[in-house]
Amino acid sequence: MTPQRGMYGWFADTARRHPAAVALEVGGRPWSYAELGDLAGRLAEALHAADPGRPLRRIGLLASRTPHAYAGYLAVQRLGASVVPLNPAFPAARNAAIAKAAGLDLVLAQPDYGTAELGARLLSPDLGSLPPARALPALPAGARGPRDIGYVLFTSGSTGSPKGVPIQHRSVDAYLSHVINRYQLDVGARLSQTFELTFDLSVFDLFAAWGSGATLVVPGPDDVLAPARFVARERLTHWFSVPSVISFARRLRALAPDSMPSLRWSLFCGETLTLAQASAWQRAAPNSVLENLYGPTELTLSCTEFRMPAPGTPAAGTGTPAGSTPAAGPGGAVPIGTLYPGLEHLVVDEDGREADEGELCVRGVQRFPGYLDPQDNIGRFLRREQGCTTVVERADPPSDDLWYRTGDRVRRSPDGLVHLGRLDHQIKIRGYRVELGEIEAALRALPGVNEAVVLSLDGAAGQERLAAACTAQSGARLDPDTLLAGLRERLPAYMVPVTVSVRRSFPYNTNGKIDRTALREALARNP
């Protein structure tokens, strides 16, 4: 049975059992579980003192890869509030939009990141001046219950506004119970921390480490792009990142065979992992078991797993013969495999019938309870009755029996599920989920722009790149560089297209819609 601990409970249980073990290494400084817990307690005191008259529901965390970030995350959890990570690298306007949509009570920020532009109350304590932690008042009744919200992350939204995805403590409990055991995490294990806190996979980095007694090792600015050097220097046992890290390292010739002998486990998620990437990593980390994971934010980090066979061996529990490769998807994609315990899935075709190929739909303990804005729930869930499925066109919070529509197309195979791509205009860029419609909305909002289309094109090393095209309003003169500068003020760097092409008109199909296929071909020839 999955323990109901709540996110802070996983850390607190470990801190009681192993107070002297190292919980965190950041900036060359180790923090024991006792020290990190004390710092989190002092920050929790400061947060509570900022508004002692009422419980805090949602607290923004504007920090990145510093003691403020990690202790701050724990402090918010200690108070029974929900963490809403904000990325200091994002434009202030986007962080302000998230703060407003989340209804933040307070924002905890590193002193050098504090900004009044967020439209929310800020607390930027100096860690060195915090008083000793005292016993916090009793938490409000029901805090950190199984269905309370542990964190809220905002993903790219097709309407032009980010979508808030709340995740319950019970979902994180189920997730951690599975991955901590599967990846043999314990005191002495050393985990990478490659994800920003606004990326949901960072929850694995933090709480799989802290829920097991392992050490979270934070990389320096250039370490992620040189993983072999980072792994060797820090004696890492567990690696977790997006697959594009492999491509970057290979391009820099920084992934030599046998260069990461300390690694025992290597996990990849967030975008497509190819057989070529997996093979290169296996040669560099010959003692490591490599797994490909898949999962949207709405299903709590990851929800499927596929263990890549070592060279010359079959994948355990699959139909792959020894010495052969798994059933690959488009472009040699590694299968995403089978679902975690406590989850069920359907594969449905365009008519809503179960099929061997179609949209992946999932329900179970890791499914989120519905979007922060109930309007975003419309059309995202399926009801199945007597073998028939129907799309739920209501904004009500979805009941547990409904299936979440991932928007991902999959095919069944002897190796589990194979990912075939998206059903809509959503893509992954550097592991981040991006709705092309949000970028199009931002481009249309710039002065003088009439129509806007954003497309993904094949880039270097098999990585996608974004290209935009727009038409001008009557009498307007548009400059591509000015348009790109305007997008940089509104969007995170990973969402800004490489190019913007100003065109007199777009091609249209017989239905009167913009012919995206023809436009993609034109942009590929002449961006």
DSSP for 31-43 reads: EEHHHHHHHHHHH
pLDDT tens-digit map of 462-506: 567 899 999 988 888 999 999 999 999 999 999 999 999 999 888
CA distance 347 to 161: 29
Q: What is the enclosing helix (H) or strand (E) of 315?
A: none
Q: Is the pLDDT of residue 143 over 70?
A: no
CA distance 463 to 522: 19
Q: Where does 223-312 have alpha helices with state H?
A: 227-234, 244-251, 275-284
| Strand-strand pairing, 381-385 and 388-392 | antiparallel
| Strand-strand pairing, 122-123 and 106-109 | parallel
Lowest average pLDDT, out of 107-111, 156-160, 180-184, 225-229, goes to 156-160
* SS3 (DSSP) at 472: strand
Cβ-contact 493, 485 below 8 angstroms: no
Q: Which of 305, 313, 251 shows the shortest CA–CA distance to 282?
A: 313
CA distance 224 to 208: 20
CA distance 496 to 503: 19
Lowest average pLDDT, out of 107-111, 154-158, 220-224, 484-488, goes to 154-158
Instruction: Provide the mean pLDDT of the chain.
Output: 89
pLDDT confidence tier of residue 135, bands split at 50, 70 and 90: low
CA distance 395 to 373: 9
Q: Which of 74, 79, 12 shows the shortest CA–CA distance to 45?
A: 79
Phi, psi for residue 174 in degrees, rounded to 5: -65, -45
CA distance 405 to 416: 18
For residues 497-517, average pLDDT: 81
Rounded to whole angstroms, the maximal C-alpha distance in the chain is: 70
